[in-house]
Structure 1
Amino acid sequence: MDVVFKTESGVFNFRVAGVMIRNGHILIHRDRKDDAWSLPGGRVGLGEESQVALRREFKEELGVDVKIERLMFSIENFFGYNGHRFHEVGFYYQVTDDSLPLNTDEFYGLEGDRLIYRWIPIAALHEITIYPEILKTELQNISNYPKHFVVND
């Protein structure tokens, strides 16, 4: 059971995402129904460690066994989506995997055509819509220590 619940005032979501960078490019994804991009990952299950959830998500979605290097960001994100107010807590980990091809063409993962993936130059993040938006600036100059952010749209 995923750590997500709905109330009259909104939706709480516990999310984990991977920051996969190779040759100045970062892996991003989006639902085919959305215009906005995000970092690959998903919901954490109740009683599941966040790093275990992240490895599971990459295995389910892309068939790769990522190595988790370190926690980069914890982000409390407050936003509206599909008519609901969200309170999302996200852990963003630096991950590596050399088996995933690096190219600039969009591609699909193992879940059919639901999620679209793409490698994009980090320098070009300002040209796209990506959430949370703080990633556009923070990924330009990555810190050596974890950072915490609160983002309100």
Structure 2
Amino acid sequence: MTDIRTTIADTRFDVRVCGLLLDGERFVVSTEEDGTRTLPGGAVKIGETTEAAVIREFYEETNLQVQPRCLLAIIENHFELKQQRHQQIIFVYELTKSKEDQILQKEAVLAQWQPLTEIVHLKPTGLKQLLGSSETPLHIINKEGTIA
């Protein structure tokens, strides 16, 4: 299956998912090769539901088997990277573990448990709005960098 990803005019567009897996006062964070810290996730594939995508992507990055509990947020993420404009629609799910496993590094990302207070340091920066919000799903618009 092909990722939902295309270029329109001068903007790279894709549909993504990520998952928030909590364990007390900690959660799973992925650190990308370039040092970017975010929630584990990735691109949705053509014909795939966002729930199926978050299960697949979370497993690919962490080796943890999870199930979506609820949709926490939809993020409109606008940013510039390496002089390329990007626009993403990101579905953020709260997850529960469906099996007790250890995190294993399976891709080129480092997945690890972090204190919940570290959520403020994640990309996109709009993820910090998930803390303390009882309203779901949130609609977050995140604009970073030099987007006009």
Fold shared by both chains (TM-score > 0.5): yes
Gaps in structure 2 of 5+ consecutive residues: none
Gaps in structure 1 of 5+ consecutive residues: 102-106
CA RMSD of aligned residues (A): 1.7
Q: Which residue of 1 aligns with 2:5?
A: 4
Deviations 1:103-145 (A, max 9, x none): xxxx75222xx1011211112334x3x1111222x23313242
Report deviation, 1:42.
Answer: 0.6
Q: Which residue of 2 aligns with 1:104?
A: none
Report deviation, 1:146.
Answer: 1.0
Superposition TM-score, scaled by structure 1 size: 0.84
Q: Which residue of 1 aligns with 2:118?
A: 124
**Is the CA contact (8 Å cut-off) linking 1:75 and 1:150 kept in structure 2?**
yes
Establish whether residue 70 from structure 1 lines up as the match of residue 70 from structure 2: yes
**Counterpart among 100, 109, 133 of residue 142 in structure 1:** 133
Aligned positions, number: 142
Report deviation, 1:58.
Answer: 2.0
Superposition TM-score, scaled by structure 2 size: 0.86
Summarize the alignment of residues 4-153 of structure 1 with structure 2, pairs less than 5 Å apart.
Answer: 4-32=5-33, 34-97=34-97, 99-101=100-102, 109-111=105-107, 114-126=108-120, 128=121, 130-136=122-128, 138-153=129-144
Deviations 1:61-82 (A, max 9, x none): 3232201100000000100112
Measured in 2, the distance between the counterparts of 1:62 and 1:108 equals: 5
- 2:126 maps to a residue whose letter is I
Measured in 2, the distance between the counterparts of 1:63 and 1:119 equals: 13
- 2:117 maps to a residue whose letter is A
- 2:20 maps to a residue whose letter is V
Q: Say which is worse superposed, 61-70 or 82-91, in terms of deviation.
A: 61-70
Aligned to 1:124, the other structure's residue is in SS state helix
Deviations 1:8-63 (A, max 9, x none): 3110010000011111111111212x122010011000111000111111222323
Moved over 6 A (4+): none
Measured in 1, the distance between the counterparts of 2:39 and 2:119 equals: 12
Percent sequence identity over aligned pairs:
27
Measured in 1, the distance between the counterparts of 2:90 and 2:17 equals: 5
